[in-house]
């Protein structure tokens, strides 16, 4: 789960990290008032779940209250498209208005998971404000990476090494050490999966400040991070994704017209691949999960049937824990409830497949086509939806 910049900064501030003075605003008037407190000179930053905002026009420096109002009017309630979003972009419902801070140096710090090492790592770079992967590629000597032994932890001597790497001494060196230790504590205590400060700046008056902050929380740990779980901003997701999440269905909206309902994440990905190979375009990824009950399966079907961009559905179920006959019953119940008659191609294998098939073939109201094979099922739905010539 991602946090907005303002949420990430508030979290870091709890751990003693210095952040710019700022205010979250949701309207042009509020933006104007916030700008007034900075005598007009401030930065407006669109709050969306994506990076690359600066180049996309989502971050603007202004010199007057009037200008702040103009920029706020341009940004608020629009969608911001950045290199990290899709073409539709993300809605801007709030702006962070911050003081202008004269900067002497820009640095980079992050904590994240190194999957292959199975450990957390600290990444530091003397090139702040840049994309870290680019820096690592172009000037690897400017990047230091420290893998953390979880039994030892991130220690003051590690942090001192990073301060030296930054060439920060005296009070600033001490501040760097405190900052790094605080970040590690925050990272662990909040079950973060990413904590990035880019840029971390040395201000003209010699303070260490987090100018931007990006924090993601491990979804699997939200059961013990109740405060953070409540920060989730549903506006940043497709409404169907929000609805699916409520029923604990793994669902991702895509661009095509063919809805997909599959059990199991790997099989669901494979089904999308198969469909694409057959010339179809999936409308979504949907994994109902292994132990789904009938309510959940019915809701999954309804999400597809009620999606106006879905012209037809491909169902691929491998029955194990999940029985094919129960899936068939849920499908019929959901279709009856929505009154939908779009074509549905069903492919099932495994537990109680024949019973499932019989249930589907006995009904006559729905436009359901049975297929035995994965490839033939994908081909069938593509053909059914092909414009007739």
Partner 1 sequence: MAILIDRHSRIVVQGLTGSSGRRHGLLCRDYGSQIVAGVTPGKGGTHLDGIPVFDTVAEAVETCHADVSMIFVPPPGAAEAILEASEAGIRLAVCITEGVPVRDMVLVNRALANSSMRLIGPNCPGLITPGQCKVGIMPGDIHQPGSIGVVSRSGTLTYEAVKQLSDAGLGQSTCVGIGGDPIIGTSFIDVLSLFNDDPDTKGVFLIGEIGGTAEEQAAAWIRQHLRKPVAAYIAGMTAPPGKRMGHAGAIISGGSGRAADKIAALRDSGVQIAESPASMALAMQKAFKAAGLSSHDS
> Site residues (CB under 8 A) for partner 1?
84, 86, 113, 115-116, 118-120, 133, 149-151, 188, 191, 193, 218-221, 223-224, 250, 252, 254, 262-274, 276-277, 282, 285, 287, 290-291, 318-321, 349-351, 373-375
Before 199, cis peptide (omega within 30)?
Answer: yes
- Give the separation between CA 218 and CA 178, rounded to whole angstroms: 24
* Whether residue 120 lies in the annotated active site: no
Task: Kindly state the smallest distance separating residue 118's Cβ from partner 1, in Å.
Answer: 5
Q: Which of 5, 30, 98, 196 is catalytic?
A: 196
Three-class secondary structure of residue 10 per DSSP = helix
Task: Kindly state the smallest distance separating residue 95's Cβ from partner 1, in Å.
Answer: 23
Task: Kindly state the smallest distance separating residue 282's Cβ from partner 1, in Å.
Answer: 7
Task: Kindly state the smallest distance separating residue 30's Cβ from partner 1, in Å.
Answer: 31
- In angstroms, the first-to-last Cα distance of the chain is 46
386: tokens are: 């092909």
CA distances from 295 to 59, 60, 300, 321, 353 (A): 44, 47, 9, 15, 20
* Whether residue 6 lies in the annotated active site: no
Scanning the structure block, which residue is given the tokens 């039994």? 151
Please give the full DSSP string across 43-64, using - where no structure is assigned.
Answer: EEEE--S-S-TTTTT-EEEESS
C-beta separation of 228 from 3 below 8 A: yes
Cα Rg of the chain (Å, integer): 26
- Give the separation between CA 244 and CA 248, rounded to whole angstroms: 6
C-beta separation of 92 from 77 below 8 A: yes
Task: Kindly state the smallest distance separating residue 373's Cβ from partner 1, in Å.
Answer: 6
Q: For partner 1, give the closer residue by CB, 48 or 208.
A: 48
Q: For partner 1, give the closer residue by CB, 175 or 314.
A: 314
Active-site residues, by number, are 108, 196
């Amino acid at each position: 789960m991602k946090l907005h910049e303002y949420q990430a900064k508030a979290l870091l501030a709890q751990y003693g990290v210095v952040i710019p003075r700022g205010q979250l605003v949701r309207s042009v008037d509020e933006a104007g008032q916030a700008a007034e407190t900075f005598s007009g000179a401030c930065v407006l930053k669109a709050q969306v779940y994506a990076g690359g905002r600066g180049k996309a026009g989502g971050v603007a420096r202004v010199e007057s209250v009037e200008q702040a109002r103009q920029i706020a009017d341009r940004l608020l309630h629009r969608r911001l498209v950045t290199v990290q979003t899709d073409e539709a972009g993300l809605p801007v419902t709030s702006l962070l208005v911050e003081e202008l801070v004269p900067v002497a140096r820009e640095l980079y710090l992050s904590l994240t998971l190194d999957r292959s090492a199975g450990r957390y790592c600290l990444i530091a770079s003397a090139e702040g404000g840049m994309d870290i992967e680019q820096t690592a590629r172009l000037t690897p000597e400017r990047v230091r990476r420290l893998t953390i032994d979880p039994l030892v932890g991130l220690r003051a001597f590690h942090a001192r090494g990073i301060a030296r790497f930054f060439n920060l001494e005296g009070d600033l060196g001490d501040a760097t050490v405190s900052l790094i230790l605080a970040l590690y504590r925050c990272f662990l205590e909040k079950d973060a999966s990413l904590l990035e400060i880019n840029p971390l700046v040395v201000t003209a008056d010699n303070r260490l400040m987090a100018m931007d902050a990006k924090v993601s929380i491990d979804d699997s740990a939200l059961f013990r991070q109740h405060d953070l779980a409540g920060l989730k901003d549903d506006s940043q997701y497709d409404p169907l994704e929000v609805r699916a999440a409520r029923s604990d269905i793994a669902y991702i909206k895509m661009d095509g017209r063919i809805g997909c309902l599959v059990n199991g994440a790997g099989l669901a990905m494979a089904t999308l691949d198969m469909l694409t190979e057959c010339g179809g375009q999936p409308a979504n990824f949907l994994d109902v999960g292994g132990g789904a009950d009938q309510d959940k399966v019915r809701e999954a079907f309804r999400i597809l049937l009620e999606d106006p961009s879905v012209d037809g559905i491909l169902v691929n179920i491998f029955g194990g824990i999940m029985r094919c006959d129960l899936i068939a019953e849920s499908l019929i119940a959901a279709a009856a409830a929505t009154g939908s008659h779009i074509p549905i191609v069903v492919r099932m294998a495994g537990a109680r497949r024949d019973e499932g098939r019989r249930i589907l073939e006995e009904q006559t109201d729905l436009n359901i086509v049975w297929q035995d094979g994965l490839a033939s099922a994908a081909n069938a739905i593509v053909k059914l939806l092909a414009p007739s010539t």
